Amino acid sequence: MRIRHHHNTRSRLATIATLMLNADLAPALAFQERSLQAVSRTFALTIPRLPQGLREPVGNGYLLCRIADTIEDDPELSWSEKARWQEAFVAVVQGRAEPDAFARDFAAVLSPQMPAGERELIRNTPLVIQVTRSFNATQQEALARCVAIMGSGMAKFQEQASRAGLADLAALDSYCYVVAGVVGEMLTTLFIDYEPRLVVREADMQRLAVRFGQGLQMTNILKDFWTDWERGVNWLPRDLLARHGVDVAALAPGQDNPAFQHALLELVAIAGRHLDAALRYTLMIPREQTGMRDFCLWAIAMAVLTLRRIAAQPAFQRAEQVKISRDSVRRVVWMSQLLHRSDELLRLAFRVGVRPLPQINGGVPA
């Protein structure tokens, strides 16, 4: 009886300590949830599907990455200024600098052209970091590693960004890694920390996570090509464009350019193969972890549907023309919740989903 009493007392004290911590974090967690709604429609939809205890570090990781993206996206900062601010933010995440000073100083130079949600996020960096500091060592290390690789990588690519495009597919792979593949690695570490049964699959999952991120990022690059083009940036590989006979200097939205359309379709095919790897990644998650599976499945399905729209109209002129509808998103959610426990049905649904995509051999490992 004494041992049981001692155990119960210790449990009550742990519960009280957790409640006190959550109470202290309540304003920061409330901001995190509100900010996710403001800066990402997709992640605001998918992150709440994750189980409690996992959705908080994943949501926080997304906001940390969004701050790094905000630095990269500012149209008025030079690449050298962006590199300096990326270094400053990495120091904050790693605990080597104070978030209040970063928030104050960067908010003062942030372009007024940036979306209101992102400007509010920058001003509230201390709240985001407060949540970061509440996680265990494994989680914090995963978040800090991701932001450090992303920040330095994006700064390097910003220096060479132009309408000329990236040198080759290897350079595109590298760019996709620093902006998305490393996020897949971070998520995998968080998933394994939450679900220890995944430890035995860690090596395979980390390898597939990079391709998962690449598939999603390539989809975004293709969808946003003309938006990026108008700001003087092209992330497509020059060697692939040249092989199709594309004159990059002559590109313009709305023109009938079969060579460029064929190049886009080859990239659609490559992205589709990366998404096949993303499905294999998802099926490694235990069937009963339906929230974790849904988080992955929704992202895969929305990317596949976007690629299908690009493949159907490769002469599109604006991202809005190939953006999927809210009805499509609702169907994705419904189908995922219907099928998420069945590996066989998910494989079948994926095969049906990618059937309209072009199938081009080579370029990507199976």
pLDDT-derived band at 42 (thresholds 50, 70, 90) equals confident
Mean pLDDT of 49-55: 95
Averaged pLDDT score across all residues of the chain:
91
pLDDT-derived band at 17 (thresholds 50, 70, 90) equals very low
Select from 257, 260, 226 the least CA-distant residue to 242: 260
In Å, how far are 40, 71, 74, 76 from 111, measured between CA atoms?
A: 19, 10, 6, 6
pLDDT of 69 strictly over 50: yes
Nearest-angstrom CA–CA distance, 104 and 99:
9
pLDDT of 11 strictly over 50: no
Give pLDDT, residue 158.
85
Nearest-angstrom CA–CA distance, 136 and 155:
29
Q: Show the tokens assigned to 163.
A: 């309408």
Give pLDDT, residue 23.
67
Select from 152, 220, 183, 207 the least CA-distant residue to 58: 183
Mean pLDDT of 197-217: 97
pLDDT-derived band at 361 (thresholds 50, 70, 90) equals low
pLDDT of 253 strictly over 50: yes
pLDDT of 20 strictly over 70: no
pLDDT-derived band at 248 (thresholds 50, 70, 90) equals very high
Return the percent helix, strand and coil in the chain, to nearest 5. Answer: 75, 0, 25
Single-letter amino acid code for the residue at 227? T
pLDDT of 16 strictly over 90: no
Give pLDDT, residue 21.
52
Give pLDDT, residue 254.
86
pLDDT-derived band at 15 (thresholds 50, 70, 90) equals very low
Q: For residues 37 and 55, is the Cβ–Cβ distance under 8 A?
A: no
Q: Comparing 32-41, 165-174, 341-350, which segment has the lowest mean pLDDT? A: 32-41
pLDDT-derived band at 6 (thresholds 50, 70, 90) equals very low
Give pLDDT, residue 2.
36
Mean pLDDT of 250-273: 95
What is the set of domains in the chain, with CATH numbers? 7-136 (no CATH), 161-365 (1.10.600.10)
pLDDT of 5 strictly over 50: no
Nearest-angstrom CA–CA distance, 234 and 153:
16
Give pLDDT, residue 364.
52
pLDDT-derived band at 124 (thresholds 50, 70, 90) equals very high
Q: What is the pLDDT of residues 274-325, one digit of tens each?
A: 999 999 999 999 999 999 999 999 999 999 999 999 999 999 999 999 999 9
Q: For residues 96 and 129, is the Cβ–Cβ distance under 8 A?
A: no
Residues 6 or more apart in contact with residue 139 via CB below 8 angstroms: 57, 189, 190, 193
Q: Show the tokens assigned to 348.
A: 């079948």
Q: Check the CA dihedral 259-265-268-269 and report its sign.
A: negative
Give pLDDT, residue 10.
43
Q: Beta-carbon neighbour count of residue 14 at 10 Å?
A: 10
Give pLDDT, residue 24.
82
Give bridge partners of residue 166 from the DSSP assignment: 237
Give bridge partners of residue 186 from the DSSP assignment: none
Q: Beta-carbon neighbour count of residue 339 at 10 Å?
A: 17
For the chain, give the number of residues.
Answer: 366
Give pLDDT, residue 135.
97
Cut 0.85: pTM above it: yes
